[in-house]
Amino acid sequence: MATQDTILNQRYRLLGQQGSGGMAVIYKAQDLALGRTVAIKVLRPSLTGDPSFLTRFRQEARNVANLAHPNIVTLYDVGQDGNTYYMVMEYVDGQDLKKLIRAQAPFPVNRALDIGIQICAGIGYAHRAGLVHADIKPQNVLVTADDHVKVTDFGIAHALSVTQPAEKQNVVWGSPHYFAPEQAAGEAPTPASDVYSIGIVIFEMLTGKLPYSGTDQQELALAHIRDAVPHIDDFEPNVPVHLDRIIYKVMAKNPSDRYRTADQLGRILIGLQKQGEDLTAGQAPVSASQPVTKPNLPKASPYGAPPPKPAGASNTPPYPGAPVASGTPAYPAPAVASPQTNPSLPSRTNPNPAPTVASPVQATPYAGPVASYPQVSNPAPVSDMGSTGPEYQTPPAPLPIDPISVALGIIAFILVAGLLPLWIAVMQAWFSR
C-alpha cells in the first residue's frame, strides 16, 4: 500500500510503515479530523477475501475496544475503505522491546522487573476482562524513552467464554519462541499461557537469550513440550536466586504449576522488587570487580518444584551467599502471606503454590496508577510486634486532677454536712408526736 498519498476514508493519511505481523501491517498516520498522530493496523489484502478471517478481525476490534488501561495500546476507531480493513490505535513514540533486547540485553534486574511488572499490569487487566492475549512476545511490547510499557496486538485474543472447541485442534496460537507447551500442542490458550510467555520475555531480558531453540516451528514446539526448563542463573549468574526460582515456576510445563494470571505474577514481582529496595536502602553498591558467590543450590527436575533453600539457611531472606549484581538490590524471596481465598491473589509462601484452576471473572474499571496492584497485608505475629502489640499495651494514664472540680466537691460536702443537724431535728420532732 502506498503511503503519503494514501488517505483512508478521507480522514487518515498514511505516513509510513512502522511494522508488520502475521495478519496486518502497521502504519504511522495522521488523523486529519482531529489533527493527531495515530497508528493504523491494516489487514493484509491477501486475507480480506476470507470471511472467517474478517470475522476474527472484527472480533479483535471489539475485544480491544473494551480494554482501557495505561499499559495497553488504546483503540480509537475501526473501519473499512473498499477492500481495506483497518483499526486506528494510539501511536506510541518508542521502540518494541525486541529491538531493545537485541541492543541492550542483558538488562539490569531493576529494569527487567519494572518492564515485567508493567506487562503483567496490562495483561492482567485483560485477564480480568475474560481475554487472553495469546501472542505475548517482545515485538508486541512497545517501550517509550522513559521505559513506559504499552502492550499491543491482541490480534488473536478471544473471549474465554466463546472459545470454539474445534479451533483447539486446528490452530497453533502464538509465536513459536514464546508460546506455552499447551499452545504448542494445539490447545487454545488460557491466562496461564500468557503467564508462561511473560516468563520467557523476562528470561530474555535478563539473559539476552531465548530458553529454547530449534531449526523450525516443529522443533521449537517439541522443545517447549519436552525439554528441561532452564535456569536463568545458568546463563547470567548475577541474577538473584529468588528471581530465578520465580521464572522457573512461571515456565512450568503444566499450566496448573504456574501462577494462574498475570496479576498474580505481577504482585510477586512487585513484592520481590520492594523487598530488594528495602534491604539495600542506604547501602553502597557492590563494586563491579567484586566476585559474586552464588549458593550451591540443588537444581530441581524440569517437571518438579523449584529447588529448596539451602539446609540450615536463615528464614530471613536473602539466604547467605545470595548473589548481588553491581548496582542492583539483593532481592529476597517474596513476602510470606497468610492463605488467601481470593483467586486473583497469589500466595507468597513459596514460588510453587498448590495447583489451582483459573476461571474467567468480570472486568473491573481500572482506577490505579501504572502497574499498580492491591498489596497484600502481612501482619506480624504477636511475638514480633514489640511494645505496640496487643499483649504489650501500656495501661492508660490516670486522668489529670481538675482544681475546679475539687473545689465544687468540697463546697457540696460542706452544704450537705450543714444540713445534717436540721435533718436530725426534723426526724426527732416527727417521732416525738
* Choices 3.30.450.20, 3.30.200.20, 3.10.110.10, 3.30.565.10: CATH for 9-90: 3.30.200.20
CB burial of residue 88 (10 Å; 0-12, 13-18, 19+): buried
Write down the pLDDT at residue 353. Answer: 46
Contacts 24+ apart (CB under 8 A), 65-70: 66/129, 66/363, 67/125, 67/126, 67/129, 67/131, 67/154, 68/366, 69/121, 69/122, 69/125, 69/126, 69/366, 70/121, 70/122, 70/366, 70/369, 70/370
Write down the pLDDT at residue 168. Answer: 40
pLDDT > 80? residue 155: no
Q: Which residues of the chain are in CATH 3.30.200.20 domains?
A: 9-90
Asked if 272 and 243 count as a contact pair (C-beta separation under 8 A), the reply is: yes
Contacts 24+ apart (CB under 8 A), 375-381: 375/267, 375/270, 376/267, 376/271, 376/335, 376/337, 376/340, 376/345, 376/348, 378/335, 378/336, 378/337, 378/338
Query: Catalytic residue at 135?
Result: yes
Identify the active-site residue in 114, 135, 257, 263. Answer: 135
Q: Output the pTM of the full model.
A: 0.65
Write down the pLDDT at residue 403. Answer: 76
Write down the pLDDT at residue 181. Answer: 94
Q: Which residues of the chain are in CATH 1.10.510.10 domains?
A: 94-281+293-308+317-369
Strand partners, 144: 94
Write down the pLDDT at residue 384. Answer: 36
Write down the pLDDT at residue 44. Answer: 83
Please state which of the ranges 30-44, 187-201, 259-273, 314-328 shows the lowest mean pLDDT: 314-328
pLDDT > 80? residue 430: no
Closest CA to 41 of 111, 136, 140: 140
In whole numbers, what is the pLDDT of the chain averaged over residues?
74
Q: What are phi and psi of 8, to 5 degrees?
A: -90, 125
Residues 199, 205, 211: CA angle, nearest 5 degrees: 55
Of the two residues 328 and 132, the one the predictor is more confident about is 132
Please state which architecture CATH assigns to domain 94-281+293-308+317-369.
Orthogonal Bundle (1.10)
The SS3 assignment for 94 reads: strand
pLDDT > 50? residue 345: no
Record the cell numbers describing residue 292, joined without a space.
559474586
Write down the pLDDT at residue 48. Answer: 79
pLDDT tens digits, 207-220: 999 999 888 888 99
Please state which of the ranges 18-32, 137-151, 274-288, 381-395 shows the lowest mean pLDDT: 381-395
Distance CA 123, CA 344 (A): 13
